[in-house]
Amino acid sequence: MNRLIAGLICLYLLSSCAALPDLSEYARQTKELSAAVNKSYTQTETDVTQRYIRTNRRYIIDTLRNAWQPTQQALAAMAAYTDALAKCTASNNDPKALTQLGTQLTRLATTARSFAPVQGRAASEIATLATFLIKQAQLAATRRKLGLLLDDSDVVIQRMAVLIQENLTDLQRVHRIVLEDNLDDLFIKYAKTARQYEERLKINESLMPEMLAIAEYKQAKLQARKANLLQEINIDRNPAQPASEEELVKRREADILQIYNANQEFLKNNESIYKEYIQGSATINAQLVQSDMLHRNTVAALQAWAQTHASLKKIDTVGKSFSFAEFVTAVQNIQQIHQAYERPFNPSRR
């Protein structure tokens, strides 16, 4: 009874509106969202391929591709549905447009049947939910007034948004695993050289104050000044082998230079390798951050998309409070992250 009353109220409000909203921009932004999400998948597939194609594990790539296809179909159906919705409002409830809207909603709901179980869902649960969504979409398709159709279709839209979000979370998990494995490989390959490089660099940096003290000592004229400088110089005072302070300083300088020059030679010979390691680590860590950002912003965009659709049930407020600025901003955020995205680091084999 409550559902019937709500539908009648919505029908009255629709009939009393001077004009239905222009949803062409909502439809366009939905297409942009669909393209951005598919771009995230393409990047993940590229990274997975680069990692596993060399190790003859093609099946991993094929499994990922097959698992993503239902989501790809759902994204295309989302765009088609909102495009039909925009045409429906533009035609002021034209019967053919309403029929097409119902058809596209059923198409969207049908994609859920092929969704792989993710986020702890069982296959039977996915199947049951898909059956419910298809029946709900078919019910909505029987409506001949936009207000009633939107009321029924929003149930489908909200559930589909959650399902797609879960698949995106699963995709991002796969992406993180690949990037983290790449980082582990990089560390294993360069760990020994990088550790030695950093140790020798640190040693040479620690020798600099003493080298400066020795240089000043050699130029100092006053004994008091030399005495102060001697406190900064690690001379070896061996009673069995007496020597003057100048001789001890000279010996210490020779020892330091031997250590310093040997380290400098190592640093020079391994500088390019160390830079590869630093650059590779920075690139992959940046990609991990970007992967997380893409996921957060994509989920936010999906939620804003669904929330915008839910607000259409209150279509009488169009021109007053109706807005999908949050959805547009979320889509733009995804696009900006993609623009800054870099390819995974692939160091040459030595």
Q: Answer yes or no: is 14 within a domain.
A: no
What confidence category does residue 8 fall into, taking pLDDT thresholds of 50, 70 and 90?
very low
pLDDT of residue 17: 42
Domain-located, residue 3:
no
What does the DSSP 8-state code read for residue 241?
S
* Residue 196: Cβ-neighbour burial (10 angstroms; 0-12, 13-18, 19+): middle
Over the stretch 167-190, which tens digit does the pLDDT of each residue have? 898 889 989 999 999 999 999 999
Task: Report the mean per-residue pLDDT for the chain.
Answer: 85
The Cα–Cα gap between 27 and 25 comes to: 5
Q: Cβ neighbours of residue 46 under 8 Å, at least 6 residues apart?
A: 343
Q: Is residue 88 part of a domain?
A: yes
Nearest to 263 by CA among 209, 205, 224: 205
116: closest CA among 175, 65, 41?
65
How far is the C-alpha of 40 from the C-alpha of 151, rounded, in Å?
32
**What pLDDT, on the 0 to 100 scale, is given for residue 185?**
92
Does residue 13 lie in a domain region? no
Residue 10 pLDDT: 46
Tell me, rounded to whole angstroms, the distance of Cα 72 from its chain centroid: 18
Residue 102 tokens, joined: 């119902």
Helix, coil or strand: residue 5: helix
- Higher-pLDDT residue of 53 and 193 is 193
pLDDT in tens, 212-261: 999 999 999 899 998 899 889 888 777 776 788 889 999 999 999 999 99
Q: Tell me if 133 is assigned to some domain.
A: yes
Residue 220 domain boundaries: 22-350
Q: Is 9 inside a domain boundary?
A: no
CA–CA gap between residue 201 and residue 263 (Å, rounded): 7
Q: What is the dihedral of CA 193, 198, 203, 204, to 10 degrees?
A: 90
CA pair distance 205, 217, nearest whole angstrom: 20
Q: Residue 164: inside a domain, yes or no?
A: yes
Q: How many domains does the structure of the chain reveal?
A: 1
